[in-house]
Structure 1
Amino acid sequence: MPDRPDYAALTRGQIALLDRINAGEAGLAVLNQLVRLAQDVLGGLGAGFAEYSPGHGRIIAAAGVCARALGRRVELAGSPLATGRRTQLLPLEEVNDEFAGQIEGGDRHRMLGARCEISGLAVGSLHVYYGEDDSEPGPEHHDVLELLATNIAHMYGDQAGLPVHGDGPVVAALSDGLTIIDRDCVVQLWNPAAEQLTGRSAAEMLGRELPFPVPPPGQVLVHRLPSGRLLKVTAGDLPHTPAMRVVTFRDSTDQDRRHEDRDLFVAVTSHELRTPVTVIKGYADTLTNHWQTLGEDGRQEAVRVIGARAGELARLVDRLLSATSDDGEVAGHPPGPFDLAEGLRQAAADLPVDLRRRLVLDGLPAELPKAFGDRDSLATILTELATNADKYSDRDTEVEVSAAADEATVTFRVADRGIGVKPEHVERAFERYWQGDSHDRGRNPGAGLGLYLVRRIVERQHGWVSLRPRAGGGTVAEVRLPRA
């Protein structure tokens, strides 16, 4: 590592970023370039950015030796970066093992990290990793990392394609109305969502008193605007700035989200169950009413279809029940060592015939270290990933399944040559019930539960799963499990 940051590379990189932003690019594309810039300018082995959600974060951009951690869940409890100085240099043994301990490659020794904050609210953290033989990063390295972290925070503040997830109190605040006020309730910051919710622009509000009451910390106040809209208002003190308070508010006019989820579940269940039930009933009625005229071949085909659809129905019921559980648990067997390649071959053999014909398993090595997890869960994982690939690609193209290993994980990938996944959708695709635009949904839109369930199953086994666009077109789904 050089004694000083590469300021020439920093200047070139910042100009390139501005060019991309001025050209209308945003979101993960720009964020990934910022992460790569941090690695290059600061001379690290790798770099990554974790976006924060309630109680945990997730790696949504990564470069160098950190690239394989994309999609990895990061536990925030006890994290040194959650409090204290804005930038910190930490030995890896002090860093949460959920992230640092799973980064492969090189002789990783220490991490330089920086919180990305908006008015004292942390939206994530930027990390650069160094090897044992690298010299210790100096004050200039800290300053440059803080600059890049500030750039990321501005992207969140502008809502330029970020946040990727919308379920965190801080992240959600960016899509909610957010204002910073002083002791006299005079507005110091007024975000775009606040303008939309109240109909008052930042120019009108800055320097003026907040037009609605502020609840005490930890309490919620419901305020009715002259328009009739109801706002659910919360407030809290800004860390390190006791003279300032942050106030967030959201539209609570509509029904509670839990009721919306219940209604959506009923609609999804009705839609998903109708097809296999209709087919089973139709073939059963055919057997009952036309047993003699069907002949032996016809009867066997009807029984085969009923059996296949009954199996599909059983898997579907498991998916729906697992996906609507709020306790974070997915049923499964106790983990243990297993042969990943053999497990994938067996899972592929159990797929429906049309889908099985599209799968190419040539990328499964004969010698592969054993994985540690729930072997039986491979059937569900591969079914969901292969079905997803089938939906979004032409029937005359192949769906390739491959596997590999490194010193910490055993990996398998499901790759197609379909319409691909947009960078801004690689994380949203794992949300419950989420689906892309109608023209992106492939032949069978489905219910938006498959990838959500895959992530929960994989993370229960201390692994992680990610999506990325495939070079030359298509999508790659990658699952990483711990080595036995």
Structure 2
Amino acid sequence: MTPDSRPDQAGTDRSGRHRMPERTDPRGVPEGRRTGHTRGMPERPDLAALIADHGAVIEMINSGEAGLPVLTALLQAARPALGAACVAFVEFTPTGGQVIAASGCAEWAIGRPLPASDPATVCLLTGPRVRQTRLDHLDGPLAGELAARGLRRMVVARAELNGLTVGSLHALYPDDDESENRVQHATLGYLASCIAHMYGDQSGLPVHGDGPVVAALADGLAVVDRDGRVRLWNPAAVEVTGRTAGEAMNRPLPFPLPAAGQVLDHQLADGQWLRITAGELAGPGMLRVVTFRDITDQQRRDSDRDLFVAVTSHELRTPVTVIKGYADTLTDHWESLTDHDRRQAARVIGQRANELARLVDRLLTSATDVRPSDGPAVPFDLGEALHAAVLDLPGDLRRRLLLSIPADLPKTLGDRHRLTTVLTELCTNAGKWSPTDSPIEVVATADSRTVAFRVADRGVGIRPEHAERAFDRFWQGESGDRRGYPGAGLGLYLVRRIVEQQNGWVSLRPRDGGGTVAEVRLPRR
């Protein structure tokens, strides 16, 4: 899969017609929407243009669209109206944040995790709801990566719902003007509220379903004081636990309280399973918010291992059957076979044995979880590693590859051996979902902070709302897709785990003209 422009840059209008990208100046600001910005005189948002474009976004919602496509369209409308070089949205979960949508020059960051330990995360979750800051005033790797790309200033607004932060909206600028524009801040705050409303509708958002947001919106919500006694018990909590507000108020929780930011699965005395998350509430009183939802059916499925058996039995049976068939043929008809037939049978046995070994390895790795490598991250030549990994691919897949790997590609930090697994999974996935005679393109690039490679195909493509779900374990798309494209649903899950353990990130996106682009970014040495 190759570097392509995203729908943000071209896109379609609300009637589905292709919309040409706007011409921009070096800062990424559309030429037709620039205002006379000078130092000490902030740009005024183009409210008329924003209202017009926002109307188109609302029409998308009214026509039934939801989730990431609508969020991306909103960011497309926000960037030129705010005169920003780029706009991005970060979704928060108990473990931190992740960039799930971007417009303009921040598109490279889609899929980029923002750990809870990152100083920038703490900054985003505290202080005024709308604020402006210079990037060189923030610590953490992401702020440094943005500054290295010529961005100096950021205006950020938190998207909050029911007292919980679901994410943050960022407008980034190449200047370091510290004067504040009240209209600009109010506009960004309004857009963040619109996004929070989308989360409230639960139409395709949040992208990461294990965060506290889903539990707070759809299921039980409680607030407890420093002594662990319940001070708030919402109606959904009554339905989930069967305990009325009168029975719950001023009493301890009927289940354990996890540490802030942690997730706990707990079984009640009646056999019901709850998934519980907890977090601190800002302000005096040392209050904690607890969210919980019923996962009894999920636990039952997991304990029975029905899903595991269903998706792996056929995948294991097929190569075993082929290997046995060819081995029996060689044993029973050796003398009557030609040398060509024997070599052909041996080749098929070897190919299927490799497939079987790879599948077993994926199943075992998934079952035992992906472990970090034994030693520290070491520098290695990504270009050489990619060329070597290509040689390990099956011949029919290797012949479809078009490589574009610069000879002077910088070294990266990580585990070279596991990079082979990453490239194998991405190329195999691209081959499975695209015509057998279509090319698969592998392109490597680098910037001042990261070294990246992309794998692009011309296959069926991925729907924007599935771009994150595709990394879930055992997820294989819609039922019709499973029949036409068999698989265990483990490859992309393993890819994300391996890449993130090397302090990188991976993302999927639809490709202009059809197909999918998978992009892996690793830290530069």
Matching residue of 1:204: none
Residue of structure 2 aligned with 1:410, choices 436, 451, 456: 451
Do 1:222 and 1:233's aligned partners in 2 also have CA atoms closer than 8 Å?
Answer: no
Do 1:372 and 1:483's aligned partners in 2 also have CA atoms closer than 8 Å?
Answer: yes
Matching residue of 1:111: 154
Do 2:373 and 2:415's aligned partners in 1 also have CA atoms closer than 8 Å?
Answer: no
> Is the alpha carbon distance of 1:10 and 1:242 closer, same or farther for their aligned partners in structure 2, counting shifts above 3 Å?
farther
- Write the distance in 2 (CA, Å) between the matches of 1:250 and 1:70: 29
1:147-296 residue pairs with structure 2 within 5 A?
Answer: 147-177=190-220, 210=245, 213=248, 216=252, 219=256, 239-240=282-283, 248-254=291-297, 256=299, 259-260=302-303, 262-296=305-339
- Write the distance in 2 (CA, Å) between the matches of 1:54 and 1:150: 21
Do 1:185 and 1:210's aligned partners in 2 also have CA atoms closer than 8 Å?
Answer: no
> Is the alpha carbon distance of 1:53 and 1:271 closer, same or farther for their aligned partners in structure 2, counting shifts above 3 Å?
farther
1:85-164 residue pairs with structure 2 within 5 A?
Answer: 85-95=128-138, 97-103=140-146, 106-164=149-207
> Is the alpha carbon distance of 1:293 and 1:351 closer, same or farther for their aligned partners in structure 2, counting shifts above 3 Å?
same
- Write the distance in 1 (CA, Å) between the matches of 2:247 and 2:463: 40
- Write the distance in 2 (CA, Å) between the matches of 1:370 and 1:341: 8
> Is the alpha carbon distance of 1:304 and 1:121 closer, same or farther for their aligned partners in structure 2, counting shifts above 3 Å?
same
Do 1:392 and 1:441's aligned partners in 2 also have CA atoms closer than 8 Å?
Answer: no
Do 1:372 and 1:482's aligned partners in 2 also have CA atoms closer than 8 Å?
Answer: yes
Residue of structure 2 aligned with 1:301, choices 336, 341, 344: 344
The answer on 1:347 being equivalent to 2:389 is yes
> Is the alpha carbon distance of 1:144 and 1:417 closer, same or farther for their aligned partners in structure 2, counting shifts above 3 Å?
same
What runs of 5+ residues in structure 1 fail to find an aligned partner?
200-208
Matching residue of 1:30: 70
Do 2:135 and 2:143's aligned partners in 1 also have CA atoms closer than 8 Å?
Answer: yes
Matching residue of 1:437: 478
- Write the distance in 2 (CA, Å) between the matches of 1:420 and 1:332: 36
Q: CA RMSD in A?
A: 3.6
| Structure 1 position 186, deviation (Å) | 8.6
- Write the distance in 2 (CA, Å) between the matches of 1:432 and 1:243: 37
> Is the alpha carbon distance of 1:54 and 1:285 closer, same or farther for their aligned partners in structure 2, counting shifts above 3 Å?
farther
Matching residue of 1:400: 441
Do 1:47 and 1:63's aligned partners in 2 also have CA atoms closer than 8 Å?
Answer: yes
> Is the alpha carbon distance of 1:296 and 1:332 closer, same or farther for their aligned partners in structure 2, counting shifts above 3 Å?
farther
What runs of 5+ residues in structure 2 fail to find an aligned partner?
1-36, 258-265
> Is the alpha carbon distance of 1:158 and 1:96 closer, same or farther for their aligned partners in structure 2, counting shifts above 3 Å?
farther
Q: Deviations over 1:302-341 (max 9, x none)?
A: 3333332332233222222222234x63547754333333
Do 1:75 and 1:96's aligned partners in 2 also have CA atoms closer than 8 Å?
Answer: no
Matching residue of 1:481: 522
- Secondary structure at 2:335 match in 1: helix
Residue of structure 2 aligned with 1:371, choices 412, 434, 447: 412
> Is the alpha carbon distance of 1:231 and 1:315 closer, same or farther for their aligned partners in structure 2, counting shifts above 3 Å?
closer
- Write the distance in 1 (CA, Å) between the matches of 2:215 and 2:147: 32
Do 2:212 and 2:291's aligned partners in 1 also have CA atoms closer than 8 Å?
Answer: no
Residue of structure 1 aligned with 2:93, choices 23, 29, 53: 53
Do 2:223 and 2:230's aligned partners in 1 also have CA atoms closer than 8 Å?
Answer: no
| Structure 1 position 156, deviation (Å) | 0.4
Among all aligned residue pairs of Structure 1 and Structure 2, give the percentage whose two residues are the same amino acid: 55
- Write the distance in 1 (CA, Å) between the matches of 2:82 and 2:208: 28
Do 1:224 and 1:230's aligned partners in 2 also have CA atoms closer than 8 Å?
Answer: no
Matching residue of 1:336: 378
| Structure 1 position 25, deviation (Å) | 1.9
Segment of structure 1 superposing worse, 46-55 or 129-138: 129-138
Segment of structure 1 superposing worse, 70-79 or 253-262: 253-262
Matching residue of 1:446: 487
Segment of structure 1 superposing worse, 153-162 or 255-264: 255-264
> Is the alpha carbon distance of 1:329 and 1:235 closer, same or farther for their aligned partners in structure 2, counting shifts above 3 Å?
closer
| Structure 1 position 468, deviation (Å) | 0.7
Do 1:104 and 1:408's aligned partners in 2 also have CA atoms closer than 8 Å?
Answer: no
- Write the distance in 1 (CA, Å) between the matches of 2:455 and 2:339: 39
1:91 partner amino acid: R
| Structure 1 position 21, deviation (Å) | 1.7
> Larger relative CO (CA 8 A, sep 6+): 1 or 2?
2
- Write the distance in 2 (CA, Å) between the matches of 1:66 and 1:137: 22
Do 1:39 and 1:47's aligned partners in 2 also have CA atoms closer than 8 Å?
Answer: yes
2:438 partner amino acid: T
| Structure 1 position 135, deviation (Å) | 4.5
| Structure 1 position 158, deviation (Å) | 0.6
Aligned length: 468
Residue of structure 1 aligned with 2:402, choices 354, 360, 364: 360
